[in-house]
Structure 1
Amino acid sequence: MTIKPLKGIHHVSAITANALDNYTFYTKVLGLRLVKKTVNQDDTSVYHLFYADERGNPGTDLTFLEIPRAGRTYPGTNSITATSLRVSDDHALQYWKDRFEHLHVDHDDIQVVNGRSSLSFRDKEGQRLVLVSDENNSGVSGGKPWEKSPVPVENGIIGLGPVELTVSRPERTANILTDLMGFRELAGYVRQTDQKKVRVFETGEGGTGAEIHLIEDNESSRERPGRGSVHHVAFRVEDEEELNKWVQLLKESHLPNSGFVERYYFRSLYFREPNGILFELATDGPGFEGDEDFEHLGENLALPPYFEPQRNEIEAKLKPLITNES
């Protein structure tokens, strides 16, 4: 059985306690487009919001599961500790630094990390985010910012960049990445803030849209997730045929997993790597335009067909989230 290499990062899903505040920050401040306003398919009483480039191309989606009673995050090991967002060049980072200062967004200084200019920042819930420049990048191409965004297109976010994992037993995660998932280990780097060594892994065409950065921390306790933490990271699979090969491979590897899962906008497979971080493999399609046209993505509550008969019941449990302002 021949399996094609994973194509890169598909999406990152995080936790918010307040969908409206979350929507305001990620669309009005970061300028991402809300391409789908739907519900958590495992708990239809809460929202699942998808922010991305103009049409939600795979590799550009940052999604949030709303858990209204979520407590604060207690940072620690065995977790996803930073999510990167790509911008086109170094000049864009100066725009963002100025914007963050004007809008009072908590941020650090611009610095060079692994040869790329980067700008770390946090949302109001403490979500750990990094803007990374694609100026010298080659590899997986980015998306296209929405032209109606409050952020000028030339400075807009074009997709997801490297995802940072912090784990207590790095070799176990590294083995899953290379031996099972087909990642390649590259030369690493030392993080300036704390002098910790960071191991870098890439898949597919490589580049900022296809990297995992792995850090060892065997002294901290396991992270206690809450608002502002990351739930899982997903990796790109070409199509459903390829996903079914991954289902078979995980079965043959005796690795506990979800099996094939229908998510309507894509098809998925979930499993935990040995340090407990949740990984998802997700197909590039069908995409977000099967139930809404391009011009009106994200404006109304979208439900997969198998939830449509329950629409009235589902809507009754949700707090209204008005996102189609003129």
Structure 2
Amino acid sequence: MSQLQLTGIHHLTAVTSQIRENKRFYTDMLGLRMVKRTVNQDDTSAYHLFYADGVGNPGTDITFFDWPLAREQRGSRTVTRTGLRVRDLDSLNYWQGRLGELQVSHGDIRELDGRPTLDFEDTEGQRLRLVVDGGAGDTPAVWERSAVPAEHQLRGLGPITITVPDLRNTDLVLQKVLHMRPVRDYADPESADSTHRVHVYEMGAGGSPDKELHVAVRSDLPVARPGAGSVHHVAFRVPDEEQYHAWTEHLWRMGMQTSGEVDRYWFRSLYFREPNGVLFELATDGPGFGVDEDMDRLGETLILPPFLEQQRPQIEAGLKPID
């Protein structure tokens, strides 16, 4: 087999302590579709909600665990900014106006790493960034019932920024283990010190923000403390199960400690931490969210993977209404 290649960002999973407000923000305000209403498979007392494009394509979903935690203490060794793509400057201007009207905390439009961007935060301080992709990357499915016009709907994830205190060992894993390619760097916009740099790595075909991981190097920051508003992990795309099994073997041969293969039912997963502690996941593109639900009804009712179905009465009794 030729060298294994990840093909882009698959999903990003974050933490909320306000699940009702979270649902309202990502569906009503950001116009995403809730494509799966389920629970954390390792903690069934917590919801796991998936927001994505009109059909839940891989690369478009940002997901949340519902945990009653205090706010995140910001710092390093974690994901620190999540990119959400828009098509062009017209869309970015639309979003600047929409965020202002909805009284969402946001910055100014500026060019960053050669692309127009707009930073904003959700109600719990989740750090997000709108990024113009110029139509590059996979085309998302329009969500007809979105509050956002089709031409301005979010196009998916990317780039994702992680912050680490030292680049060396993270760089080794990104290049030698995950076969990502360093392509450029730029001044860290979160720092007044221009010597702090963000290093850009691309995967797969490259050339678009959905295929980029950005690594900010900040030895001056404390270690982040997880909580509401933090990111739990970022997942990278593996096209099929054959390559997924090959990645499992490859990581084992490279001496990486992993979770072993995990069947999440809607995709297959493999978890491990890079040397600075950021949790990575490799996830397959399929089988997808339509495997157990009518595509017209995605996200409307609580769906459990088959191995949890017999626990449904207890699980449902422990969950609070979110609609």
- Provide the alpha-carbon RMSD of the alignment: 1.1
Q: For the residues of structure 2 that align with 1:70 and 1:39, how far apart are their CA atoms? A: 17
* Counterpart check, 1:181 vs 2:172: no
TM-score (norm 2): 0.96
The 5-angstrom pairing of residues 146-185 of structure 1 reads 146-185=143-182
How many residues align structurally? Answer: 319
CA deviation profile, 1:261-304 (whole Å, cap 9, x unmatched):
01000000000000000000000000000111111000000001
Q: Equivalents in 1 of 2:113, 2:272: separation in Å?
A: 29
Determine the structure 1 residue equivalent to 2:214. 213
Match of 1:309 in 2: 310
User: Is 1:47 paired with 2:44?
Assistant: no
Q: Which residue of 2 aligns with 1:260?
A: 261
Question: Using the alignment, how far apart are the partners of 1:187 and 1:307 within structure 2?
Answer: 45
The 1-side partners of 2:171 and 2:253 are apart by 20
Secondary structure of 2:237's partner? strand
Q: How does 1:93-242 map to 2 (within 5 A)?
A: 93-135=92-134, 138=136, 140-194=137-191, 195=194, 196-206=196-206, 207-242=208-243
Which residue is equivalent to 2:32? 32
The farther-off stretch of 272-281 and 249-258 is 249-258
Contact 1:10–1:60 under 8 Å retained in 2 = yes
Q: Is the Cα–Cα contact under 8 Å of residues 54 and 146 in structure 1 kept in the other structure?
A: yes
Q: Is the CA contact (8 Å cut-off) linking 2:4 and 2:247 kept in structure 1?
A: no
Residue 142 of structure 1: how far off its partner (Å): 3.4
Give the equivalent residue in structure 2 for 1:282: 283
Q: How far, CA to CA, are the matches of 2:310 and 2:190 in structure 1?
A: 52
How many angstroms apart in 2 are the aligned matches of 1:24 and 1:318?
17
Residue 313 (structure 1) shift:
1.0
> Quick one: which amino acid aligns to residue 317 of structure 2?
A
Report the secondary structure of 1:163's partner residue.
strand
Letter in 1 for 2:185: G
Structure 1 residue 3 displacement after superposition = 4.6
Q: Secondary structure of the residue that 2:39 maps to in structure 1?
A: strand
Q: Flag structure 1 segments of 5+ consecutive residues without an equivalent.
A: none
- CA deviation profile, 1:190-226 (whole Å, cap 9, x unmatched): 2345333111000012111010111111121100010
Structure 2 unaligned regions, length at least 5? none
- TM-score relative to the length of structure 1: 0.96
| Superposition deviation, residue 145 in structure 1 | 2.9
Cα distance in 2 between the residues matched to 1:8 and 1:241:
17
The answer as to whether partners of 1:3 and 1:242 remain within 8 angstroms in 2 is no
Q: Mapping of 1:62-101 within 5 angstroms?
A: 62-67=62-67, 69-101=68-100
Q: Which residue of 2 aligns with 1:293?
A: 294
Q: Secondary structure at the match of 1:232?
A: strand
How far apart are the structure 1 equivalents of 2:197 and 2:251? 30
CA distance, structure 2, for counterparts of residue 143 and residue 175 of structure 1: 33
After superposition, give the CA deviation of every residue in 1:117-145 in whole Å (9 maximum; x if it has no partner): 1000000100000010112x64x323123
Deviating runs (4+, > 3 A) in structure 1?
1-4
Percent identity between matched residues is 50
Mapped contact 1:32–1:145 kept (Cα < 8 A): no
Give me the whole-angstrom Cα distance separating, in 2, the residues matched to 1:3 and 1:18: 43
2:260–2:270 contact (8 Å) kept in structure 1? yes
CA contact (8 A) 1:259 1:269 kept: yes
Answer yes or no: is the 8 Å Cα contact 1:127–1:228 preserved in 2.
Answer: yes
Cα displacement string for residues 36-69 of structure 1 (whole angstroms, at most 9, x for unaligned residues): 00000010111000000001101001000110x2
